[in-house]
Chain A
Amino acid sequence: MQITVNDTSYTIDVEPEMPLLWVLREELGITGPKYGCGIAQCGACTVHVNGYAVRSCQLAIGDLGNSSVKTIEGLGTPDSLHIVQEAWIEHQVAQCGYCQSGQIMQAASLLSTNPDPSDDQIDAAMSGNLCRCGTYPRIRAVVKAAAKKLQGS
């Protein structure tokens, strides 16, 4: 089976029912997406599939088809961060950090489809991403900051 992750093609030999998250972490060693709950209740495993946020624990690899996957590792690079990652660092959002890759991927997906979201829209989009450290106020602030950066760029 061929899959494309972060613009790189991989050949894998797994059962089609295996969730994408397992493939990423266990088969490909791409550990940015985190295992939190395994049932789409926490958002820690969020990646992009064809540009849209998807909980990778919920997508069987056999259902991926020819879709391309992007993880936090492919969103930006240390030398050229994604605008959401830049804002995330500037606002020092993370506390323990476990949920943050999922938060960033969800925020980037939101801004790609809605570059100027209201507070309510940010809350609606981000409420499925849990943060046990309670960084929610900073997350909302940083999504707004990233939106401003996008509009200025």
Chain B
Amino acid sequence: MKMSFLRAAFAITSLFSVTVLSAGDKVEINPPLAGSVSKEQGLEAWSRIFEVASHPRCANCHTGPSDRPMWSGPSYGKTRVHGMNIQAGNSRIGAETILCSTCHTNKSEDWSNANVTKHAAPRVAMSWALAPATAHWFGRTTQQICEQLRNPETNGDRDTLEIAEHLNHDLILHWAWAPGGNREPAPYSLQEHVNDILAWGVAGTPCPQD
């Protein structure tokens, strides 16, 4: 039902450029015209997408079959699993033991000072969670992530327009570009990343080893 609704919505958005305001971020879902992006350009877009997907702000919570979020990247020094023995469980929200939201509390709106404290648990206006096990990015190659992301069986049954829309709606993903504290943001910008996803889709979702 939900996906049917989304498909209908995306069918409309494929015809028109849509601007959506959300959590202070303005993201335009504006795919290039069909046939206007070459495979080479698509691969260039993919290389930037991979930079984002493999960045600690994204990959640390895309740990695949492991239910352990990671602490890695320049903000954390030595790569290690999330402190406090955190296990997200099959629920991916820690429902079996301790909820992610115990510390990553929900904020109802964008407090300017919500994530300024170093080392404090970051917060967004939705429930914190580990990505689904099928979305396995941490420590994986560009080819592996590319194949995972273009396969509807492992990307949440989405086409690239739906992936772009997912980026627009999921505020945890927005947080990756405004993480606060002493955390390094994901590269490029949310809008540039969405543009790359759309261009990669129009190019036919090429992967480096195709």
Instruction: Give me the interface of A with B, judged by CB distance under 8 Å.
Output: 16-17, 38-41, 46, 52-55, 58-60, 62-63, 65, 106, 110, 113-114, 117, 121, 123-125, 127-128
Rounded to whole Å, the gap between the CB of A5 and the closest CB of chain B is 17
Contact present for B105 and A124 (CB under 8 Å): no
**Residues in A neighbouring B109, C-beta threshold 8 A:** 62
**Cβ 8 A contact of A110, one of B98, B117, B119, B121:** B98
Main secondary structure of the interface of B (DSSP, over half): loop
Which of B14-22, B80-88, B129-137, B154-162 sits within the interface? B80-88
Query: Are A121 and B96 also in contact (CB < 8 A) when A54-B101, A54-B105, A63-B107 are?
Result: yes
Determine whether B102 belongs to the interface, using a CB cutoff of 8 Å to chain A: yes
List the A residue with the shortest CB-CB distance to B106: A63
Within 8 Å of chain A (Cβ to Cβ): is B108?
yes
- In contact, A124 and B98 (Cβ under 8 angstroms): yes
Contact A52 B107 (CB under 8 A): no
Tell whether, in the assembled complex, residue A128 and residue B98 are in contact, meaning their CB atoms are under 8 Å apart: yes
Q: In the complex, A29→B104 CA distance in Å?
A: 25
User: Please, which residues of chain A bring their CB within 8 A of the CB of B118?
Assistant: 39
A40 and B114 CA atoms in complex are apart in Å by 13
B111 at the interface (CB under 8 A from A): yes
Docked-complex contact A114 and B97, CB < 8 angstroms: yes
Contact partner, B85, options A54, A60, A113, A124, Cβ 8 Å: A124
- Closest Cβ neighbor of A127 among chain B residues: B85
Chain A residues near B62 (CB, 8 Å)? none
Cα separation A123 to B118 with both chains bound (whole Å): 26
Report how far A153 CA is from B134 CA in the complex, Å.
Answer: 41
